[in-house]
Amino acid sequence: MATWLCVSNCGACCHLQPDDRPDLDSYLTPEELSLYHSLVGADGWCINYNQLTRECGIYEERPSFCRVGTATFGKMFGIAPEELNDFAIDCCQQCIGDIYGETSPEMSQYQQAIAD
């Protein structure tokens, strides 16, 4: 059984282009939505994401909507704790596929990491 994890050198979820996520207001509070929009750079990537190192500059202090966990996903998407693993894997696979492509090195790296 695959186990969700965040892999280094990915950052697909840091591509915050609001047009790619038209339902943001259905799972973020007005305050969170405002914060979300303030983090989007001109290129659609989070202003705290370093595209060269592929690392978050505020990882330890990142907003709750950037965290994968039962509390966050329960609140935002109504996901029960026992559903989190599969839901998070699906989210990552979709995001990686959308940003880098289904046959990208990033997708291969992710698939290998969750299978280990």
- pLDDT for 78-103, tens place per residue? 999 999 999 999 999 999 999 999 99
CA pair distance 33, 24, nearest whole angstrom: 7
Looking at residue 84, its pLDDT comes to 95
CA pair distance 57, 53, nearest whole angstrom: 10
On whether the CB atoms of residues 66 and 47 are closer than 8 A, the answer is no
Which 8-state DSSP code applies to residue 12? G
Q: How confident is the model at residue 116 (pLDDT cuts 50, 70, 90)?
A: confident
Helices (DSSP H) in the chain: which residue ranges? 24-27, 30-39, 70-77, 84-100, 105-115
- Tell me the average pLDDT of the chain: 95
CA pair distance 24, 108, nearest whole angstrom: 28
Model confidence pTM above 0.85: yes
